Structure 1
Amino acid sequence: MSAAAETTQQIYPLISDLGLILMTAAIAVLLFKKIKQPLVLGYLIAGFLAGNHFDFFPSVTDMHSVEVWAQIGIIFLLFSLGLEFSFKKLMKVGGTASITAITQIIFMIAIGYGAGRLMGWKIMDSIFLGVMLSVSSTTIILKTFEELGVKAQKFAGIVIGSLIVQDLVAIVMMVLLSTLAVSSQFSGSELIGSVLKLVFYLALWFVSGIFFIPTMLKRAKNLLTDEMLLIISIALCLVMVMLAANVGFSPALGAFIMGSIIAETTQAEHIEHLVKPVKDLFAAVFFVSVGMLINPDALIEYAWPVVILTLVVILFQPITSTIGALLAGQPLKQSVQTGMSLSQIGEFSFIIATLGASLGVTSNFLYPIVVAVSAVTTFTTPFMVKLSTPMSGYLGRKLPRKWLKRIERYSANAQSIKSVSNWQIVIRAYLVQVAIHSIIIIGIILLSANYLLPLLNGFRFGHALAAFITLAVLAPFFWALSLRRVAVEQVQQLMEERKYRGPIVMMVLFRFVLALFYIGFLLDNFFSPQIAFIAFCISIVIYSIFPKKLNYQYHKIETRFLKNLNAREIIRNKRQRSDLTPWEGHMTIFDIAKESNIAGRTLEELQLREQMGINVAFIRRGEITINIPSRNERLFPGDEICVIGTDSQVDEFKTYLNRNEIEAPETGTQPEIVLQQLELHNQDYIGKSIRQSQLREKTKGLVVGIERKGNRILNPDSHLILEKDDILWIVGDKKLLATLLLEHDETESANQ
């Protein structure tokens, strides 16, 4: 047999199986689009029927090739998830989404592990089961929100933020499970070491990626066609896959990290658009492959575990997520809506199941059980979202009044806690300074020792040259670690108090000593102890001679990094603020269409507050933003207006706008205004209406909420009379609000 014929014979099963997978996926798309069901479910069922367990459908010839295609599908699926992820989004989701997600994950891991042990499963099966049941499906939830038209509601933002946190935690858990599977024992030191290793490489890859990749794409922008940009993006993904595999992580982790790095670039949306067909292709391959790997005999044998675990997900996912949202300070209604939206498992559960199977540490029955549970909960997700609002109303009527009052008070207090002490700011700034620069320094030292030193080892002064190059590269970072000032204003204020002087001086000394240690560590890797000591002294002298030069170089590096990190936001100039409304109110942006019937009319003529109970927080007109517009402000075609109201009020306003031919964009803009709470004791305001109090004029703001004797009034009428002990929520100019609060406190102190 010729070599060509042998190659054809080897590659034929791979190609034929891929053709069968794609043909099956195409049929699934057509059918499930027709019956308006999630495509993921269609892929799973189609793959299940096309597997080699049935004779009445064409079947795959080689299950190993299916596993290969599934692994490739995982890589591109996680790359696309990374493109939608962004670490900056994680920083913005805030405490609400983080607390909700982490509470859910902790409880569900424990519940899943307990359920597995009660069914008599092995410890490793139970651990993997708990992790798989703890992660909701981003794909299913986003698709459901889009179909039900609830993406503009406030709880949807909390759900999406929770999914972002869950994705990152799932990545961390995959690393921990891999370590646990390899060691086959619960070694605390190994798990801690794995976490530290993960954090180190995540930070190193992210910092270096943000520094180099956006700059490269920006400089080559005029040369890049769509074809080249797609190739470069996929190449970067595969390079990071190889890096992750080389340091002992899952290839999927590398794909996810590169996606999240590219998500910070100015071309992220364009790259996401270009990669989407590739993502859709390999996502279909992955989900169909998952269905093909299901053994129907295992499903029949383990039918009761499927039923039990489905009930566990449908019951306990909403309960644990609702508890998390309540702990984060959300009202009962939004907490229940959030919890019931997260009542399913999906793609990450499949990936974790695949991980357990590939490592050979989980039983064969676990994979099909988890896929079956996911399929059922995919069906139930739209119904759970629809039922969330009636369920929150039912609980509001049935729960004891004492509980409801405590939830309301806790929610109000949690949302009003925004301040951070100077000491916390200083501690956080110092920890970030030490951690980031330590990771950069250690990373460059290891890179130099493993690659640069062997390259120059054959030269006469190879060690000295390698050490000199490394020291030159690291010099700005050594300076920043040891001498750069951080949180200057807060440090100056704390130094005025005697009790803080000692700790601050110790932190400065610690940074200086740590920088010296790293220099010594570097030189010890290149020279003998005696020569290293001499080089150490010379290095210290050189660094002390050129502090301004080092400062200048570091400033250039930092400026480029921050510019790359913030470039996408600067260009878009659209930021969301979800913390400027009390209780169930939230901010939504609408566009005034050119053909709108309300264009040219003043806010007073429209009477939006009187008719629908909403307030207009700001109007954006081209490059001009009118914060807290007056009642005489007119709306013009092309204006963007930000309104504050509850979900029902915003929906009513949206209907009103549609009747007048208004279009609503999906994203929001961040106004230069803040939300502030004012407890009313000042006699100057008591007994007057909101309009008579002149609070609007004094703060250039709006009274968007009043708490009175446990009751809440959102967007109160301007003729409402203010009473003693009212708690006002005011959206307005930050400086004017601070002045008002100061005057209020001074008046209160004088009266006392």
Structure 2
Amino acid sequence: MLFFQLALILLASKAAGSLSVRLKQPAVLGKLLVGIILGPALLGLIHETEVLEALSQIGVILLMFLAGLETDLEEFKQSGRSSTYVGFLGIILPLGLGYLAGVLLGMPVLEALFLGLLLSATSVSISVQSLKELGKLKSKEGATVLGAAVIDDVVVIILLAFVMSLAGGDVHLGMLILKKVLFFGAAILLGWKVIPWFMRKFTVLRVSETVVTAALISCFLLSHLAEYTGVAAIIGAYIAGISISRTFYKTIVTEKVETMAYALFVPVFFTTIGLKVNFSGLWSEIPLIIGLSLLAIATKLIGAALGAKASGFGWRSALGIGSAMVSRGEVALIIAAIGQEAQLIPDGLFAIIVIVVLVTTLVTPPMMKLFFADPKPENAHN
């Protein structure tokens, strides 16, 4: 059954991506819709399994690793101010209005605060693909989005620890912050000195494909280190990509990892997002789903866009940056699962939140297409 599912995913994903481009939309939109069509929401041909989830995780890791490989480090350094503005304003607005929405829905203060925190999360794994297709990944806007995503991840996780401590969870806020500081310190050291040295030493082994193997080892180890210290694994993969981009192995690693990622793992990642959609028993909650979706989209779009505008971008670029921050993706789903386990999200609301997160993910590519002014593809993968 697994082999049939993989064949169906790859066939449908590539066909839908091509159709999406013909309709003048980013290819990633079609790939996301494939999961909804093939999954439990409609045809029911494919269901989530542990194997597909594992392949999906590799897909998102490789996607962010490639984003790191293609990052202009000098542009990234120069975007620090704008990334900070985008990151913080992109948290403040959804946090505040999300909390207010929770209060209006009759939620206790702590649950309402958790809802606001959940809406503050962001995941740019989908946005990275759209940035590539729109020719913006190596631009100032792209560097700002990626930098803001790192800031958003760290701040939201620290706020999550604070809320969990108020809820009586076994969370030591000071230790959690220390672990994050240690991660970024270790990641910078590894990326600057250790990974380039490891690449040189490993590639002299007299076996095949040592260059790409060494790159993948670096990617997966930094992803694990990030996850272990409470930072999203995709941040570790991104830093590993930046590290290798500073070496003369960059071109060959990019070419080989792109082939591997876009042939199998990335299509599975996009498809499994759609597999999470299931409208069973939720039809009566459609007004709430629509309301929370609009709130999630508007607060992140406006907050991040205001941050970009305040840092010197024009309105069109600012709205493009804001739209790239809208997707909550796997980061919000992980936070929602933590909240459900801590009883900060009622079971009925959890299913609604999952749909809202997926809506934010689906609207991100066409919004980016709308706002970014110069849609010249760098290297679109259909």
Q: TM-score, normalised by structure 1?
A: 0.42
CA distance in 2, matches of 1:117, 1:25: 41
1:396 is aligned to none
- One-letter code aligned to 2:67: L
1:493 is aligned to none
Determine if contact 1:100/1:322 at 8 Å carries over to the other structure.
yes
Quickly say closer, same or farther: Cα 1:238–1:161, change in 2 above 3 A: closer
1:478 is aligned to none
Of 47, 64, 79, 1:78 maps to 64
- One-letter code aligned to 1:138: S
Q: Is 1:39 paired with 2:27?
A: yes
CA distance in 1, matches of 2:8, 2:159: 33
CA distance in 1, matches of 2:114, 2:37: 26
Quickly say closer, same or farther: Cα 1:143–1:193, change in 2 above 3 A: same
Cα deviation, 1:401-446, whole Å, max 9, x if unaligned, reads xxxxxxxxxxxxxxxxxxxxxxxxxxxxxxxxxxxxxxxxxxxxxx
CA distance in 2, matches of 1:21, 1:181: 39
Of 306, 316, 320, 1:323 maps to 306
The alpha carbon displacement at 1:50 in A equals 1.0
- One-letter code aligned to 1:373: T
Q: Is 1:368 paired with 2:355?
A: yes
- One-letter code aligned to 2:371: M
Q: Is 1:291 paired with 2:274?
A: yes
CA distance in 2, matches of 1:270, 1:74: 20
Secondary structure of the residue aligned to 2:323 is coil
1:356 is aligned to 335
Q: TM-score, normalised by structure 2?
A: 0.77
The alpha carbon displacement at 1:295 in A equals 1.0
Quickly say closer, same or farther: Cα 1:140–1:242, change in 2 above 3 A: closer
Quickly say closer, same or farther: Cα 1:127–1:316, change in 2 above 3 A: closer
Q: Is 1:165 paired with 2:154?
A: no
Determine if contact 2:223/2:236 at 8 Å carries over to the other structure.
yes
User: What runs of 5+ residues in structure 1 fail to find an aligned partner?
Assistant: 1-12, 387-646, 648-665, 667-752
The alpha carbon displacement at 1:168 in A equals 0.9
> Which segment drifts farther, 241-250 or 197-206?
241-250
1:454 is aligned to none
Determine if contact 1:104/1:134 at 8 Å carries over to the other structure.
no
Of 88, 92, 96, 1:110 maps to 96
CA distance in 2, matches of 1:380, 1:326: 17
Structure number with greater Rg is: 1
1:272 is aligned to 254
Cα deviation, 1:513-559, whole Å, max 9, x if unaligned, reads xxxxxxxxxxxxxxxxxxxxxxxxxxxxxxxxxxxxxxxxxxxxxxx
1:195 is aligned to 177
CA distance in 2, matches of 1:209, 1:120: 47
Quickly say closer, same or farther: Cα 1:189–1:163, change in 2 above 3 A: same
The alpha carbon displacement at 1:326 in A equals 4.5
Secondary structure of the residue aligned to 1:104 is helix
Determine if contact 2:41/2:278 at 8 Å carries over to the other structure.
yes
Determine if contact 1:309/1:373 at 8 Å carries over to the other structure.
no
- One-letter code aligned to 1:282: F
User: What runs of 5+ residues in structure 2 fail to find an aligned partner?
Assistant: none
- One-letter code aligned to 1:36: K
Aligned length: 363
1:126 is aligned to 115
Secondary structure of the residue aligned to 2:351 is coil
Determine if contact 1:125/1:366 at 8 Å carries over to the other structure.
no
2:320 is aligned to 341
Quickly say closer, same or farther: Cα 1:296–1:244, change in 2 above 3 A: same
Determine if contact 2:59/2:269 at 8 Å carries over to the other structure.
yes
Q: Is 1:304 paired with 2:278?
A: no
CA distance in 1, matches of 2:6, 2:73: 34
1:69 is aligned to 55
Determine if contact 1:236/1:258 at 8 Å carries over to the other structure.
yes
Q: Describe how 1:340-739 pairs up with structure 2 within 5 A.
A: 340-344=319-323, 349-359=328-338, 360-361=340-341, 362=345, 363-385=350-372
CA distance in 2, matches of 1:327, 1:344: 16
- One-letter code aligned to 1:123: A
Structure 1 or 2: larger strand share?
1
Cα deviation, 1:605-662, whole Å, max 9, x if unaligned, reads xxxxxxxxxxxxxxxxxxxxxxxxxxxxxxxxxxxxxxxxxx9xxxxxxxxxxxxxxx
Structure 1 or 2: larger helix share?
2
1:260 is aligned to 242
Give the percent of matched residue pairs that are identical in Structure 1 and Structure 2: 24
Determine if contact 2:13/2:31 at 8 Å carries over to the other structure.
yes
